[in-house]
Structure formats: structure tokens, C-alpha cells
Structure 1
Amino acid sequence: METYPTLILQDSLNLVWLLLALFIAGVFESFLWKTPLFEPLNRPIQIDWFGKNKRWRGLVSLPLTHAVSVGLLQLLERAIGWPSDPLISFSDFNWIEYGLLVGFIFNLAELPNSFVKRRLNIPPGDESNWLFYLVDHMDSTYGTLLLWWLYFRFPFHLILTGTIATPLLFILATEIRKKLGLK
């Protein structure tokens, strides 16, 4: 029987590994947005509901770049002999299915939060209120956690650990992307 500290450490390592694919996808995505291919998608989904910053390109580009990053991490896992137990391995999944679903849900889960914020007249990207800043980093990650639990059948203890760890990791990733000039 594993102890709680061991389980939390193992879950945290799994979460970092899983979220690394999303971080890589976010970096790829920022370059993809600058290509002429994505220019037609650079328009708001619905300004009155979600504001001008929620664009079609994100709903399309993140699933694609996430699938690519998952495929690349699968190659890395094979090259280094990644242990599939107790760690989660991307090689256990179909990279296209996993990559597209997680990338799509990650961005789709932002829309309800944006809808509520537009009703409350909170400007897009407003980081002046720590509560809204935190919620902005919970929506996508909680949507992803639900997908992992309900569709991919990840263990519930991983989801519980993720409710605290994933928003914090996402905040860290956002700050890194800002420092790199990618956000």
C-alpha cells in the first residue's frame, strides 16, 4: 500500500509530465498563429458572449499542436525507455485522439468563465484581481481534469491532486510564456 506522500509525489510528477505536452503545444501554437494559414481563424467566436479575445484559431490550433507535442513526447518516451508504471505514459494513448481531445477541451473549458466575466463587465485579461486571475487558470485545467477522469479514466487520486496542482502549474507556465514573449 502506497503512503499518501508517495501518492501525491507520484501524482505531481504525472501532472507535470502531462501538462508539459500542453506547455509545448502552447509554444508551438504561438508560432502557428503568425502563419497565413491561421489568419482566417483569427476572429472572435462571439464577441457579446465571450469577448474579442476568444478566437476560433485557439479552438483549432491548440488541439493540433497538442497532438503533435504528444506524438513527440511518445517518441521521447520510447527513446529513453520511459517506465509506464507508476508513471503515466503518453505511449499508452493514441496520440491523435488524446492530443486533439485534451487540446480542444482545454480551450473549450475557458468559454463559460469568459461568458460570466463579460456579464460582470470584467475586461478580458484583467489580472488586477487575484481571484479572477486564479479562476482564469482553473477553468481550462478543471475541464481537462474532468476529461481525464471521465473519458480517459485516470485515477481519482490524480484528479484530486490535480485540483490544486494544475492551476498552480498553469500559472507558472503562463508566467514563463510571458517572460519568453510568447503570450
Structure 2
Amino acid sequence: MKYAAKAQTPLGKVLLASDGSYLTGVWFAGQKYYAAGIGNDIIYNQHIPIFTQTVSWLQRYFSGENPKIDELLLAPAGSTFRQIVWRILCDIPYGHVRTYGDIAAEVAAYNGIKTMSAQAIGGAVGHNPISIIIPCHRVVGAKGSLTGYAGGIEKKQRLLAAEGVDVRTLSALVR
């Protein structure tokens, strides 16, 4: 069974997805890859416990708290490579950023290889199905450029600013 619910955030509506126990998706309305993988056989039910927990988490996040990612049971669907990248994203501290290159180096070391393409990392980051909670907005391009965010650069800037990142020091490049 697949479930969905909608929730309102200060940045707009989000669609939540679950298998009934785990959170499998959080997408901004109109986001690139919106609802990817949830299919058509979904039941809308706001009262699934993981949705109640997620809405509470999001409310706390948007009120300036730093709720822990592991408070929620997450099960994003993706390849082994994407899963590795998404786990690394979860380790980026609240209010900090890392570059695609930093993450590429970490994935390369994890896999015991010399190098990894930052573009491959960008693809995995861009396909993160659990926006905000798996903090793909904390990933920036080389030299702090604000590149690609499936929810839009403006949302990325607002999320980072809400976490205390001085976005004026980041350059807004769209790719």
C-alpha cells in the first residue's frame, strides 16, 4: 500500500509519501521529479502516523529548531549509489554546506576509488525524494555557487537562510 498526504510549509505545499510505516517522499508542489516513483495506486490519508510525525518535524524545522533526521523513519527508494549519497547528505550539519566535490571525494573514498564525478553526485542529490529532511539544499557548487535545487534556487536560498547560512556569500548560479 502507498499513502500520500499534503502539508503546508512556509515555502509552499509539499506532498508526503509513505509505505504506511516509513516516509518515502517529500516534494514541493511543482518540484522537478515531483512524486517520482509513487505511482498511481495511492491512498490519501493525513492520519498515517509517519505523516503526523513528519508534519510536526517540518513545523519545528520551520520555526527555527533543528530536529534530528533520525526522529523519522525514512526509506527513500534509489540505487545503492544514491543511497550512499543520501546518507552523506544526512551528515551535513544544520546551518552548514558542503560542495558536490566534497561529497564526490567522500563517495570515492567509501568505494575505495581515486575519484568520483561531482556531476554524478549532482544527479543523486537532485533525485533525493525526501526534500528538506534529507538536506540536499545544503549542497553547493564549487566556490559556494548556488547550483541546482529540484525545488528551485529561491527555496534553497530560503532554507539555507533559515538555518543561519549567510546566503549573501554564496553566488546564485542556476544550472
TM-score scaled by length of structure 1:
0.26
Bigger proportion of residues as strand: 2
Which structure would you say has the larger Rg? Answer: 1
Q: Which has the higher contact order (CA 8 A, sep 6+)?
A: 1
Structure with higher helix content: 1
